[in-house]
Structure 1
Amino acid sequence: MTNLPALTVWQPWASLIAIGAKPYEFRGWRAPRAYQGRRIAIHAAARPVRIAEVVEMIEDLTSDRAWTTCLDAKLALPVLERVYRDPKILPLSAVVCTAMLGVPRHGDDIAAEFGGPVNDSDRHDHAHWGWPLTDVFVLEPPAPARGAQGFWTWTDVRLA
């Protein structure tokens, strides 16, 4: 058995991480140092997809506001358009992938990577944190699991 720190993420964002369209997870806090540089599990929450959020993401990605999503539009749009037509295609209550968690960065710095304005505010230290997620490994099929807020431990019994 393998134990990994896990993070629960709402859909469609969990699946966007799995396909490489969402290279950062944004939180209001820095990822704990103990997890940086480690593989973590990305768990899709039980919360159903909200179509209004999908519509907003599609609208943003097809406008001059695309940078606000910090998504790779070429990868994200086809998935979001399928989810719009059938929101039940995405797994819920399941670990969808694992990824290496990098050193958190300020959200404003990341937005600049996606074409957003450079932050010149003295409140830069209060920006949300972007957690880089690299070396993604997709679980096929996703592994059913109950999630939790914050980090929790996922035991992958399939690797026993």
Structure 2
Amino acid sequence: MKAITIKQPWASLVVHGIKDIENRTWPCPRKYIGQRVFIHAAGSHGRKFSIDLTDAQTKAAFATIAIETMFGNMPFGSIIGSVEIVGCSINHPSIWAEKTDTDNKGYYANPIYNWVLANPIQFNKPIENVKGKLSFWEYPGINEVKIECPECGSIEIAIEDYTTAPFPTFLHSCNKCGYVIMESEWNK
């Protein structure tokens, strides 16, 4: 599954469902729109953290950061969850979106692209000691798990899919017989 590295505290805010935009200087490639990606918390801190304190979402963000930092729970160098990228725009109305000015001809000068995020999942236990990379990168750890189909015994299991019904979980399907296996059913 693809992963993207984000500095803290932004990575934690994304998986907590507080920050719904990831700002980048390049547009999100179309092939990733509608896809779920892992969120990797970088090994270092972000440098700036200044936002409007009067907004309810901003107050919630600071409460989350305070709890994670006070108790030493803010993870670094770890995959901490996943999120769906559902869109990419410039000047999104979210409080998290960095805005781009236009030049005197009405064109965006040095645009900041606002990747729209949805359906975050925070892992109960981060996947620790993972080195991040620039851009999108493949984290092979989860797809390397060999799963035996309880129906036909095949180990040819399709790459996982994610569902929220009846509760958030990863699903795997057997390429041979089509049996669907919930993550909680496989032996690792």
Q: If the length of structure 2 is used for normalisation, what is the TM-score?
A: 0.63
2:136 is the alignment partner of 1:155: no
Please state how far the C-alpha of 1:34 moved relative to its aligned partner. Answer: 1.5
The two structures, once aligned, show a CA RMSD in angstroms of: 2.9
Partner residue in 1 for 2:53: 62
| Count of residues paired in the alignment | 140
Distance 1:82 1:147, change over 3 A: same
Report if the CA contact (8 A) 2:39-2:81 is conserved: yes
Query: 5+ residue gaps in structure 1?
Result: none
Identify the match of residue 99 of structure 1 among 46, 64, 83.
83
Distance 1:92 1:119, change over 3 A: closer
Bigger relative contact order (CA 8 A; separation at least 6): 1
Please state how far the C-alpha of 1:15 moved relative to its aligned partner. Answer: 0.2
| 1:103 counterpart SS class | strand
**Match of 2:53, as an amino acid?**
T
2:124 is the alignment partner of 1:140: yes
* Percent identity over paired residues: 23
Instruction: Map 1:90-129 to 2 at 5 A.
Output: 90-106=74-90, 108=91, 110=92, 112-114=93-95, 121=102, 122-124=106-108, 126-129=110-113
2:25 is the alignment partner of 1:44: no
Runs of 4+ in 1 over 4 A off after TM superposition: 83-86
| 1:39 counterpart SS class | strand
1:74-93 per-position Cα deviation (integer Å, ceiling 9, x unaligned): 4302023335656x430011
Distance 1:119 1:92, change over 3 A: closer
Q: Which structure shows the bigger proportion of residues in helix conformation?
A: 1
Distance 1:115 1:90, change over 3 A: closer
| 1:61 counterpart SS class | coil
**Match of 2:114, as an amino acid?**
G
**Match of 1:11, as an amino acid?**
Q
The higher radius of gyration belongs to 2
Query: 5+ residue gaps in structure 2?
Result: 146-188
Please state how far the C-alpha of 1:159 moved relative to its aligned partner. Answer: 8.2
Q: If the length of structure 1 is used for normalisation, what is the TM-score?
A: 0.73
